[in-house]
Chain A
Amino acid sequence: MMIQILNGLVYGGLLYILSLGLVLLFGLRRVVNFAHGALFMVGAYVGYTAASITNYWIALVGAMIILAVLGALLDVFVLRPLQKEDPLVTVLVTFGLLILLEHAALIIWGKDFRSLPVPAILDGTVRLQGEEFPLYRLFVIGVAAAVALGMSLWLKLSRVGLYVRASSVDPLTTGILGVKTDRISIGVVALGTSLAGLAGMVAAPLLAISPSMGSYILIESFIVVVIGGLGSFTGAFFAALLVGQIYNFGAVYMPWAASIIPFLIMVVILIWKPTGMAGKHV
């Protein structure tokens, strides 16, 4: 039982880290980045290549830095010029980017699945209530918890965090009060995409690395942000925990239904509250 809950936390943690990027972007600019899953995939591949040259830890930092640079480019060349347009334009353009990134990965790394070994220091198991649990999975939970803690401190205590929170509640008033979205967005978007890189790198030893790995997790992180109420940080946190547990318990006890239940929950929640669990009127 305990092991099951932990496994659910591992997946929920990954979903949370990935969803944060979507929530940050939605809070600041009211758009959804359909290429977010592809960035997760790029993070995993970049980390894979960097780790084969150096080691896991340098690769982890490297993947985050490269993804942050990609995020800054995304903000300057895509999101900023499009902010006056209908949000659906950004959806379509980032969907185009998704196609381009997936095929760029196909050209560079090929079709075959790659796998990244668990770093030596985390390669082992711990005994929990008489059962063996892989140390690396505990590490993933730890990373997710650290990100959650860091994020809530940053949002609560820093000035930029305050702007992001304000903007996610009411972008118009926030703008009237003198917050320049453009000036902070480059950093905020870079933070969001570097988290996608972190998620990709942390997930790499657990999943098969392939060009399409981003699509699956993109859909699941969409479920998380929709259930959580678009743009809500707390909502995304609890929704990720919930979806992680559902996937995991579902896979063990109801394998035929595991992947369908989260969709059903999402539909039920949206009937009940069209703007999500923690949703405001959008």
Chain B
Amino acid sequence: MQTSPRRINPGRKGFTLKTSLILLTASLALGVVLPSVLTSMLILSLLTQAVISGILATSVGLLIRQNGVVSFGHAAFYGLGGYVMALLAQRGIISIELAILLGIVLPTVMALLLGLVIVRIPGVAFSMLTLAIGQAVHEVAIKARPLTGGDEGMTFTLPERIFGLPSTMYQNADTMFIVCWTTLTLVLFGLYWLIRSPFGQLVDAIRENEERARFIGYRTVLPRAIILAVSAAVAAIAGVLFTLYNTFLSPEMLHWGLSGSALVMAIIGGPKVVWGPAFGAIVFFLVKDMAGNVSEHWPIIIGATLIFVTLMLPMGIGGALQRLFIGSGKQEA
């Protein structure tokens, strides 16, 4: 049995390796320069949070783009990442570096196993199911009071050094912004290449017509489960970064309200373009910051924007921008 197809469409438009590397370097440089240009700590702190949420939104967007399903439970992977890391490192069982690694690997493995069961479930039911599974994890975190501190949450003390860098680096917005931005850039480029690889095209084919892909002789469950696992890994990375930055964990990190926000960001930004969801996260945080000063009911704007974008801009703001600047969006990645 074949596991991945040959390139279906070799002429498919996209960035060459060279352009990609230039863009990658430019993006990394931008991340390093921004904190010295933006001197306001407040704005930098907001941007850092936006970038972390952007990574989470990217993971939700990947699932929409590749598997064609909408998850309402990604906060589970995000929160698990944070909790696994904090619980392991807190008790001094293992080093912080290993804890960070496990914080990403564990949710990934769980998602892979879960995926083998749930990716077969059709679209709408998948959304309901992920919502329920996410809330189950949230309940567990609240009930496991001795371990997690229950509703009140738990603080997490960082060791002195992480990956050889002083841990204050992870708590100051100006340096943490660089860490988060670099991570987001690497994640986006990694996903860009994953999506365009033969494996990515196989998953495209499965999304378009699962039955046909199966009849040609491809396995259709495992590739989708792998996408779910990659998506969970990205969400867990965001959760780990958030925990390092905030040094505080609460079950809110696992609540479906957060999954919903991440989904809204992904849709507003447009999951069809790989950077769309992250862009949506930044728009989301700008709206939250500007409207939040005027009224506590700023989510009304978010809800209305979600409805508007879903109906009027199915490719999202990011997709619309890409079409505007790069031209026909038919083959965008």
Q: Which of B128, B139, B299 contacts A103 (CB 8 A)?
A: B299
Residue of A nearest to B144 (CB): A256
Which single member of B132, B264, B314 contacts A263 (CB below 8 Å)?
A: B132
Report, as a range, how many residues of chain B touch the other chain.
Answer: 35 or more
Question: 0/1 per residue, A54-83, Cβ < 8 Å to B?
Answer: 000000000000000000000000000000
A222 within 8 A of B: yes
Task: Determine whether B307 belongs to the interface, using a CB cutoff of 8 Å to chain A.
Answer: yes
Complex Cα gap A32–B132 (Å): 14
Closest to A107 in B: B297
Cβ contact within 8 Å between A103 and B297: yes
Q: A92-B310, A95-B306, A103-B300 are in contact. Are A263 and B133 (CB under 8 A)?
A: yes
Q: Does B267 contact A (CB under 8 A)?
A: yes
User: Residues 134-169 of chain B: 1 if any A CB is under 8 Å from the residue's CB, otherwise 0?
Assistant: 011001100100000000000000000000000000
A96 within 8 A of B: yes
Cβ–Cβ < 8 Å partners of B140 in chain A: 260
B260 contact from A26, A95, A100, Cβ within 8 A: A95
Q: Which of A260-274 contact B (CB under 8 A)?
A: 260, 263-264, 266-267, 270-271, 274
Which chain A positions have C-beta within 8 A of B70?
88, 91-92
B123–A92 contact, CB under 8 A?
no
Question: Would you call B306 and A92 a contact (CB within 8 A)?
Answer: yes
Q: What CA separation (Å) do A107 and B300 show in the bound complex?
A: 11
A85-110 with Cβ < 8 A to chain B: 86-89, 91-93, 95-100, 102-104, 106-107
Which of B87-95, B113-121, B192-200 forms part of the interface with chain A?
B113-121
How many pairs of residues, A versus B, come closer than 8 Å at their CB atoms? 107
With an 8 A cutoff between CB atoms, is B124 at the interface?
yes
Contact of A88 among B118, B123, B133, B139 (CB under 8 A): B123
Interface size range of chain A in the complex: 35 or more
A99 and B139: CB pair below 8 A?
no
Q: Given contacts A93-B307, A219-B131, are A230 and B124 in contact (CB under 8 A)?
A: yes
A222 to B128, CA, bound (A): 6
Q: Are B117 and A271 in contact (CB under 8 A)?
A: yes
Which residue from A30, A32, A34, A274 sits with its C-beta under 8 Å from B120? A274
A93 touches B136 (CB 8 A): no
Complex CA–CA separation, A146 to B136 (angstroms):
32
Residue of B with least CB distance to A100: B303
The reply to whether the CB of A282 lies closer than 8 angstroms to some CB of chain B is: yes
In the complex, A259 has a CB within 8 A of chain B: yes
Complex CA gap A100/B307 in Å reads: 10
Select from chain B the residue with minimum beta-carbon distance to A111: B296
Among B120, B263, B300, which residue has its beta carbon within 8 angstroms of that of A100? B300
Decide if A263 touches B136 in the complex (CB within 8 Å). Answer: yes
In the bound complex, do residue B267 and residue A92 qualify as a contact, i.e. CB atoms below 8 Å apart? yes
Q: Do residues B132 and A266 form an inter-chain contact, with CB atoms below 8 A?
A: yes
Instruction: List residues of chain A with CB within 8 A of the CB of B8.
Output: none
* Interface 0/1 of B263-284, CB less than 8 Å to A: 1100100000000000000000
The 8 A-B residue pairs with the shortest CB-CB distance in the complex, in nearest-first order: A99-B303, A263-B136, A96-B307, A96-B306, A222-B128, A100-B303, A259-B139, A96-B303
Question: Other CB < 8 Å A-B pairs besides A107-B297, A259-B143, 13 of them?
Answer: A32-B128, A87-B124, A88-B69, A88-B123, A92-B70, A93-B307, A99-B260, A99-B306, A226-B128, A226-B132, A257-B143, A263-B135, A266-B129
The contact sample of 11 A-B pairs, CB cut-off 8 A, is: A30-B124, A32-B128, A95-B263, A96-B306, A96-B310, A97-B307, A99-B302, A215-B256, A263-B139, A270-B118, A270-B121
